[in-house]
Amino acid sequence: MTSTPDALNAELAQQTELFNRLRIDNSDPAALEESRRRLGEIKRELAALKPGGKDAKKKERLLLKTPKGTRDYGPGEMFCRDYVERIVKECFVLYGGAQLDTPVFERKDILAGKYGEDAKLIFDLEDQGGEQLALRYDHTVPLARYLAMGGVTNTQSKLWQVGKVYRRDNPVMSKGRMREFSQADFDISGQWDTMIPDAELLSLLCTILTRLEVGEFTVKVNHRKILDGIFEVCGVPPEKIRPISSAVDKLDKLPWSDVRKEMIGEKGLDAASADKIGEYVKHKGGRPLLDQLLADATLTANAKAKQGLDEIGTLFTFLDAYKITDKILFDLSLARGLDYYTGLIYEAIVEASAPPGLTATEKPDPAPAVPKKKSRKSGGADEDEEIDESQVGVGSIAAGGRYDDLVGMFTAAASSDGKKGAGLPCIGVSIGLDRIFALLWPKWVERGMRSKEVFAYVLAAGDGLLPERMALVQELRAQGIAADFLAKNKPKLNAQFAAGERDEVPYAVILGGEELKAGLVTVKEQRWEFVDGKKAKVESTDKGTQMPRAELVQWLKATETFRDWSGGRLIRQ
């Protein structure tokens, strides 16, 4: 990011030209927005480098930026994000979910002891006298806190929450790895029969990813009890099970040789145990893998492993009923980092999930090219470590698992006698909306998406006609037609057309003084098409349709465009 003034000036010239071109032909608002953003960045970088500015003076200058690891989303981007959120919410409702909302911060003791090694990434609020607070790290722990507070009546629920969560990790912005990011969670709580809620959640996840058109995806599944059984069978002492599990969790980013080194070196496991683990965790597959493991007498002699394998077997029969078997990959190397999982775990990946050199569903062995600095290893501080973004993948786009003990941890800790409180089995999934946005957004830009939904632009051909324009937009809006006009007393006709075109408004309604007296208005349809990656207005010889003003609303609502509009079909096919 630290470029020389020369390089910056060269880019400034280039970007200014691009920006002006985009502004003039006015066909691609998304690219224009990107260009604007970059232009601003270059200018700020140049200003910061300006010679003659004394250090003392520099410090006084306000740095105009968002905090590290966060960003603004402008109109075009929010149009895309809103589309993603809408589909996710629709699916949550289809699956019988009800919405929950919890505060963005929690009391610190609520978050304590839930995140293992990653607890260092929690954002704390300043102690301003009163409670010790921290920003939420995920939606799962607040949900468990809510369920624990609710007592018996919340024992059976399907709850969802969409909102931002916070982690002081090293960000990789272009891949949607942020310090502030949006997660959409769906959780099922209650005493249900084995693996039924688990199958519901996997089905929900597949439905969402299919409807979002994220491309080919795979949902890797594994079971904490199988993993723990494997670790026991391979001779891992009890106190090392979670640390060794954390090491296995890195297999999607590191080759086995590195993970093995971590197990033996950092975590003090003997080499023989590590090698035995290595034999197990290289397996992935479907039902045949399950049969193979069930035939492994050493493994099935372990009660935990046996229970886990049986549950995976039950799950497989349900996946057939849900018709999603082909999307699921049983993968023994999947471990998930969070401490609180107790049963089935899963994560969804696409091709872009993997860093270059690794493929998303293949075992990363032999040693591939990996980024020199790993964000997972960095501490919570603002080290401003440089990450080579080209060497990082998007990572999993959704993940989750069963956490049967988390609610019980809360009720126990809150009980007066210190006894075990009432537990509540839960399973959930978190969908990483920023990572999905990072996958979809380039396609939107390519297709040249709109960023506004204005349907009718009201223009005056006569002498301003301001009150008349105001009254008409007001009437259209009251009828559910998004309308706008140019906020000038006496604007030129061209300026009004240009403003309407900037937002790609499909209908121009033109008011003329004489026409209005006769009770008439003129409507002109305007169309844009997307040719060779560029948006262009379709030229038309249409002089517009004159009609009684009283019929305008009805006429507009009868157009095919309006019916598409109100049905939410905003995606260019």
**Residues in 158-177 at the binding interface with its own copies, rule: CB under 8 A:** 158-159, 164, 168
Interatomic CA distance for residues 37 and 29, integer angstroms: 12
Q: How far is CA 506 from the centre of its chain?
A: 31
- For residue 411, give the amino acid letter: T
Q: Which is nearer to its own copies, 151 or 235 (CB)?
A: 151
Q: Which stretch binds its own copies (CB under 8 A): 283-291, 296-304, 409-417, 521-529?
A: 409-417
Interatomic CA distance for residues 230 and 419, integer angstroms: 31
Residue with tokens 């060794």: 244
Answer for which of 17, 109, 266, 389 binds its own copies (CB under 8 A) is: 109
Q: Which long-range contacts (CB under 8 A, 24 or more apart) does 519-527 make?
A: 519/548, 519/549, 519/550, 520/546, 520/547, 520/548, 520/549, 521/472, 521/546, 521/547, 521/548, 521/549, 521/552, 522/546, 522/547, 523/547, 523/552, 523/555, 523/556, 525/559, 525/561, 526/500, 526/501
Residues 507, 509, 513: CA angle, nearest 5 degrees:
170
Q: Which is nearer to its own copies, 16 or 300 (CB)?
A: 16
Query: In three state form, how does the secondary structure of 441-466 look?
Result: HHHHHHHCCCCCCCCEEEEECCCCCH
Q: Which stretch binds its own copies (CB under 8 A): 3-11, 126-134, 244-252, 432-440?
A: 126-134
Question: Contact between 436 and its own copies (CB under 8 A)?
Answer: no
Residue with tokens 């009828």: 479
**What φ, ψ does residue 43 adopt, rounded to 5°?**
-60, -40
Min CB(130)–its own copies separation in Å: 3
Q: Which stretch binds its own copies (CB under 8 A): 340-348, 351-359, 415-423, 537-545?
A: 415-423
Q: Which stretch binds its own copies (CB under 8 A): 245-253, 280-288, 413-421, 535-543?
A: 413-421
Question: Contact between 125 and its own copies (CB under 8 A)?
Answer: yes
Question: Contact between 382 and its own copies (CB under 8 A)?
Answer: yes
Interatomic CA distance for residues 143 and 494, integer angstroms: 55
Q: Which is nearer to its own copies, 152 or 297 (CB)?
A: 152
Min CB(74)–its own copies separation in Å: 6
Q: Which is nearer to its own copies, 178 or 439 (CB)?
A: 178
Answer for which of 367, 471, 531, 550 binds its own copies (CB under 8 A) is: 471
Min CB(163)–its own copies separation in Å: 9
Residue with tokens 């491309």: 215
Answer for which of 5, 9, 13, 101 binds its own copies (CB under 8 A) is: 101
Interatomic CA distance for residues 3 and 486, integer angstroms: 42
Question: Contact between 207 and its own copies (CB under 8 A)?
Answer: yes
Interatomic CA distance for residues 109 and 104, integer angstroms: 15
Q: Which is nearer to its own copies, 158 or 304 (CB)?
A: 158
Q: Which is nearer to its own copies, 452 or 572 (CB)?
A: 452
Q: Are 522 and 546 in contact (CB under 8 A)?
A: yes
Q: Which stretch binds its own copies (CB under 8 A): 36-44, 332-340, 510-518, 536-544?
A: 36-44
Question: Contact between 145 and its own copies (CB under 8 A)?
Answer: yes
Q: Which stretch binds its own copies (CB under 8 A): 190-198, 235-243, 332-340, 385-393?
A: 190-198
Q: Which stretch binds its own copies (CB under 8 A): 96-104, 353-361, 431-439, 546-554?
A: 96-104
Answer for which of 21, 443, 477, 492 binds its own copies (CB under 8 A) is: 477
Which contiguous run of DSSP H or E holds residue 547? strand 545-548
Closest-CA residue to 163 (of 202, 204, 106)? 106
Min CB(534)–its own copies separation in Å: 19
Total chain residues near its own copies (CB under 8 A): 121
Answer for which of 247, 503, 552, 562 binds its own copies (CB under 8 A) is: 503
Question: Contact between 232 and its own copies (CB under 8 A)?
Answer: no
Interatomic CA distance for residues 446 and 530, integer angstroms: 10
- CA distances from residue 499 to 30, 50, 161, 173 in whole angstroms, order as listed: 17, 37, 38, 33
Min CB(114)–its own copies separation in Å: 12
366 cis-preceded (ω within 30 degrees of 0): yes
Cβ neighbours of residue 122 closer than 8 Å, sequence gap 6 or more: 111, 115, 134, 135, 137, 166, 167, 168, 380
Q: Which is nearer to its own copies, 446 or 453 (CB)?
A: 453
Query: Three-state DSSP class for 19?
Result: helix
Q: Are 332 and 281 in contact (CB under 8 A)?
A: yes
Answer for which of 12, 87, 294, 413 binds its own copies (CB under 8 A) is: 413
Residue 382, both tokens: 């603002």
Question: Contact between 51 and its own copies (CB under 8 A)?
Answer: no
Answer for which of 84, 199, 234, 251 binds its own copies (CB under 8 A) is: 199
Answer for which of 5, 14, 17, 44 binds its own copies (CB under 8 A) is: 44
Question: Contact between 414 and its own copies (CB under 8 A)?
Answer: yes
Answer for which of 193, 514, 539, 560 binds its own copies (CB under 8 A) is: 193
Question: Contact between 133 and its own copies (CB under 8 A)?
Answer: yes
Residue 469, both tokens: 């324009």
Q: Which is nearer to its own copies, 13 or 369 (CB)?
A: 13
Answer for which of 117, 351, 446, 453 binds its own copies (CB under 8 A) is: 453
- For residue 487, give the amino acid letter: A
Among positions 53-92, residues that touch its own copies (CB under 8 A) are 53, 57, 61-68, 70-75, 78-79, 81-82
Answer for which of 83, 105, 137, 444 binds its own copies (CB under 8 A) is: 105
Among positions 280-339, residues that touch its own copies (CB under 8 A) are 317-318, 320-323
